[in-house]
Structure 1
Amino acid sequence: MSCIQCEQISKYKCPVCRQPYCSVPCYKTHKQTPCTPPDPPTPANESDDKEIEYDYPTEDTVPVEKLKLLELSTELKKCLENPHVREILEVLDKSPHPDEMMKEYMQEPIFTEFVDACLKVVQPQEDTDK
């Protein structure tokens, strides 16, 4: 990207309008005129009202309604406060073979705690004491 003032290669962006600049003098020149934050990106697909449909559902596919309940789980939120859990999830998300890595991570107690919290929401155990 090139500087909005002098066309040199920019290293920085204005914290308000996100326009590129290369140096303090160019930034000061830019700030002489008021700038405004960029418009937020508009979603390409406003499908919040539509129900998500799976391309290839199986008997193990979790219904969307149950997946939305994950947002409400305080136990799950507590698990996600742990940076190690978030790091594991990022690695799994980027992995070409997450199923293989999942077996490895299931040996880590912090990850199994996360998985158990998810399962409690999407697959609650029935009371067998009745």
Structure 2
Amino acid sequence: MLPLRNRCQRTLPLGNGLEFGWEMGGRSCCVCNEAPFKYKCPSCRTPYCSVTCFKKHKEESCQKTLPQEEISKSPLQLQEEVTLNTTCTAKSLNTACPTKVLEAEDPSWLVDNNRLRSLAELKGIQDALRDPELQKMILKIDGSSEPEKELERVMEGQAFREFTNKILDIVSPQE
């Protein structure tokens, strides 16, 4: 086996889906090596502690990796997983959920991933998403057989309308 220069280097496969590397090591940020990590890079799963460290990591050392089970799946298998798992049943905001296949009449309506990430990091948005009532409304829209009608219904309420206006102000600011 090749020696690791530091515990934050990429992991080494041991077989049977097991890997040796930083995930088995300590809990400090792999960018600054000082603070405990709180997040993992969505592309390569490297742990980092802050936005500053994330930006530095992206600029200097990020290498996108896919888990072995994702590599072995065909595009058709991945598509079936996405369409079968259309609603989020997560109990916490930190749990990733499957997403629906996006359908947009106009591709310019879609928000790019960088803007979505920066939106998710905003304290005002995070605070709003902790509201159990707002969570219920979002899950109801997502799980509806007619999501557009459900969205229209919840938009009648002031709380949901304020939340969506916050998002729209950030995603597409008026010039």
TM normalised by structure 1 equals 0.52
Secondary structure at the aligned position of 2:166 is classed as helix
1:85 and 2:138 equivalent? Answer: no
Q: Deviation above 4 Å: which 4+ runs of structure 1? A: 54-57
> What's the RMSD between the two structures over aligned residues?
2.8
Equivalence for 2:14: none
Q: 2:154 aligns with which of 83, 88, 105?
A: 105
**Unaligned stretches of 5+ residues in structure 1:** 1-38, 40-46
Equivalence for 1:75: 124
For residues 63-82 of structure 1, the C-alpha deviation after alignment (integer angstroms, 9 at most, x for no partner) is 11111111111111121121
Question: Structure 1 residue 91: deviation in Å?
Answer: 0.7
Identity %: 22
Q: Report the more deviating stretch, 95-104 or 116-125.
A: 116-125
Cα gap change, 1:84 to 1:68, in 2 (>3 Å): same
Aligned equivalents of 1:86 and 1:124: distance in 2? 25
Equivalences, count: 79
Question: Structure 1 residue 55: deviation in Å?
Answer: 8.1
Aligned equivalents of 1:119 and 1:96: distance in 2? 25
1:12-27 to structure 2, matched below 5 A, reads none
Equivalence for 1:19: none
Aligned equivalents of 1:61 and 1:113: distance in 2? 20
Equivalence for 1:10: none
Aligned equivalents of 2:103 and 2:147: distance in 1? 20
Secondary structure at the aligned position of 1:59 is classed as helix
Report the residue type matching 1:101 in the other structure: E
For residues 6-65 of structure 1, the C-alpha deviation after alignment (integer angstroms, 9 at most, x for no partner) is xxxxxxxxxxxxxxxxxxxxxxxxxxxxxxxxx9xxxxxxx7238xxx787612111111
Aligned equivalents of 2:149 and 2:103: distance in 1? 23
TM normalised by structure 2 equals 0.39
Question: Structure 1 residue 120: deviation in Å?
Answer: 2.1
Specify which structure has the bigger relative contact order, considering alpha-carbon pairs within 8 angstroms and separated by 6 or more residues.
Answer: 1
Aligned equivalents of 1:125 and 1:98: distance in 2? 26
Report the residue type matching 2:171 in the other structure: V
Aligned equivalents of 1:100 and 1:124: distance in 2? 26
**Unaligned stretches of 5+ residues in structure 2:** 1-17, 19-41, 44-63, 66-101
Aligned equivalents of 1:79 and 1:55: distance in 2? 26
Contact 1:79 1:114 (8 Å CA) reproduced:
yes
